[in-house]
Amino acid sequence: MSTETNHPAHHAAHESAHDAHGHGSMRDYVIGFVLSVILTVIPFWLVMGEVLESRIWTVALIMLFGAIQIVVHMVYFLHMNRKSEGGWILMSLLFTGIIIVIALVGSLWVMHHLDTNMMPMSPEQMRVAP
């Protein structure tokens, strides 16, 4: 057995080569797992402990922790960063997010304007409507 393969510098170089190709180390997976557990336990505690009196703030915090957890999963488990695939994976993810936001905001805007600008119908008009 050669001493070169057991040398810590060789292992560090091997791990950094894996990181450059998008593979994570055990340390990255453990960090991701711990962050995921924390980001799951806090919203659970907020709801079960009835920590906040306002339901709106509780829901907003749960959504925030969910969004942070999505980022944690993408970085630590899916290995999405600026280096992987020359940054194209991150760019395509950002483009997808922008398209989703445009579609959601546009749909809500159209539905709101339809609701405010439609003429109300009486029950008699509803019966004869096609």
Which carries the bigger pLDDT value, residue 75 or residue 18?
75
Distance of alpha carbon 2 from alpha carbon 125, whole angstroms: 89
Q: Is the pLDDT of residue 51 over 90?
A: yes
Supply the DSSP symbol for 106. H
Contacts of 38-41 spanning 24+ positions with Cβ under 8 A: 39/65, 39/68, 39/69, 39/72, 40/69
Query: Do 37 and 76 form a contact (C-beta atoms < 8 A)?
Result: no
Distance of alpha carbon 41 from alpha carbon 49, whole angstroms: 11
According to the model, what pLDDT value does residue 13 have? 46
Distance of alpha carbon 96 from alpha carbon 87, whole angstroms: 14
C-alpha atoms less than 13 angstroms from C-alpha of 1 in its C-beta half-sphere:
4
According to the model, what pLDDT value does residue 115 have? 85
All structural domains of the chain with their residue ranges = 1-79, 86-120
Q: Which two tokens stand for residue 3?
A: 């001493």
* pLDDT, the chain, mean: 82
Supply the DSSP symbol for 3. S
According to the model, what pLDDT value does residue 88 have? 84
CA quadruple 2, 4, 8, 13: dihedral sign: negative
pTM as predicted: 0.58
